Amino acid sequence: MLIRYGTTKKGKRVKIANIYTIEEHGIKTGMIDTDALKVIKRLRHAGFNAYVVGGAVRDLLIGKHPKDFDIATDAHPRQIRKLFWNSKIIGKRFRLVHIHFTDKILEVSTFRGLSPGDEQNTFGTMEDDVKRRDFSFNALYYSPVDEQLLDYVGGFDDVRQARIRSLIPLDVTFKEDPVRLIRTVKYAATTGFTLPGKIKKALKKYSGELGKAAVSRLTEELMKILASGCSEQIFKYCTDYDMLKHIVPVIDSQQNEELFSSLRMLDTEIGNGKSVKREYMIYSVTRAYLHPPTTLMIKSKTAFREVFKEMKAVIAPLTPPNIEVEKAVVLYFKEIGITARIPNVHGPKPRRSDNRRRRKPARKKMPSESPAADN
């Protein structure tokens, strides 16, 4: 193991991080996504530092293949944008760069600074960035060029001991960002790590904070849960710690074994490497709560509209795109033996506004109408 040193304000040399070599961490360059490796090498060639960070490093350490390879760098968004023609700067609270490839999008973030108050769009050093991370196993930085793992907070030992440890006080972290409540149980389910007693108590104590989270963020977190391959266990955790009622109240109040059976099937398909679309995930989590349309509804052609409304109500207040819910209804109809296509369930399309209508050509004036004829 190597040591990274820094200096205090008084100039004293102090240890700030452990640097683990390939013999210790076991992560090989060939295990890194080829496009992520190209991005890191280009950033390094341009004189910047760049690392694989977060969940990808954690997953590699426990023998899982990461779904995403996020990258952190000291290059600023505009500097990254100049290096990659296929990139786009996104975000307002904190600017990120998405680099687009044929089958994936790689997210590149600049090291975050220790900004005061609510100011989020401040850049800093790697040492600053570490202090902005939520859990110790998400604060590891891997350089595939040097094959070295940088650890400022003891996250490497936490992974080896299967520990979940928050880097932010528990009475602060879940209030600061309620979505961390969901991520905590998701980490426990996907890694197999045990939740410490103090975190369990905090999850239940601060579960009501989820009511303050943006619906759009909760919607995306639900889709991530369903795509994780561990959705059954995550739903059970969310129930145990009083979280589900703040995410999908109908499902929380009407849980049944059919729901968990459906989630189990979904997890099995994802675990077997099957590509699962978002509409199938929505269908999997709602099918246990849907009522087959009556013969009268089918004859009057209102069946699709009614089941669509019912499916939306099951996952309310979450708001996945209507087109995905519509496709989920088609999957449900197929299961119960009804042939259906997506009708126009949102009413007629709005008419063109008047300013888009074709204007009539102006009438030519006759000689007698011209100003010269008045003189």
- pLDDT digit string (tens) for the chain, length 375 residues: 777 666 766 677 777 789 999 999 999 999 999 999 999 999 999 999 999 999 999 999 999 999 899 999 999 999 999 999 999 999 877 899 999 999 999 999 999 987 654 456 688 899 999 988 999 999 999 999 999 999 999 999 999 999 999 999 999 999 999 999 999 999 999 999 999 999 999 999 999 999 999 999 999 999 999 999 999 999 999 999 999 999 999 999 887 899 999 999 999 999 998 889 999 999 999 999 999 888 888 777 888 999 999 999 999 999 999 999 999 999 999 998 887 667 665 555 556 555 555 555 555 554 444 444 343
Q: What is the pLDDT of residue 117?
A: 46
Q: What is the pLDDT of residue 374?
A: 41
Of 65, 233, 25, the closest CA to residue 241 belongs to: 233
How many alpha carbons fall within 13 Å on the CB side of residue 348?
3
Q: Distances from the Cα of 273 to the Cαs of 12, 46, 221, 227, 232, in angstroms?
A: 52, 37, 21, 11, 17
Neighbours of 127 (CB within 10 A): 14
Q: Catalytic positions, please?
A: 68, 70, 134
Q: What is the pLDDT of residue 309?
A: 95
3-state secondary structure the chain: CEEEEEECCCCCEEEEEEEECHHHHCCCHHHCCHHHHHHHHHHHHCCCCEEEECHHHHHHHCCCCCCCCCEEECCCHHHHHHHCCCEEEECCCCCEEEEECCCCEEEEEECECCCCCCCCCCECCHHHHHCCCCEHHHCEEEECCCCEEEECCCHHHHHHCCECCECCCHHHHHHHCCHHHHHHHHHHHHHCCECCHHHHHHHHHCHHHHHHCCHHHHHHHHHHHHCCCCHHHHHHHHHHCCCHHHCCHHHHHCCCHHHHHHHHHHHHHHHCCCCCCHHHHHHHHHHHHCCCCCHHHHHCCCHHHHHHHHHHHHCCCCCCCHHHHHHHHHHHHHHCCCCCCCCCCCCCCCCCCHHHCCCCCCCCCCHHHCHHHHC
Q: What is the pLDDT of residue 275?
A: 87
What whole-number distance in Å separates Cα of residue 181 and Cα of residue 240? 13
| Global model pTM greater than 0.85 | no
Domains, in order of start, for the chain: 1-167 (3.30.460.10)
Kindly state the tokens that stand for 348. Answer: 């007629």
Q: What is the pLDDT of residue 114?
A: 75
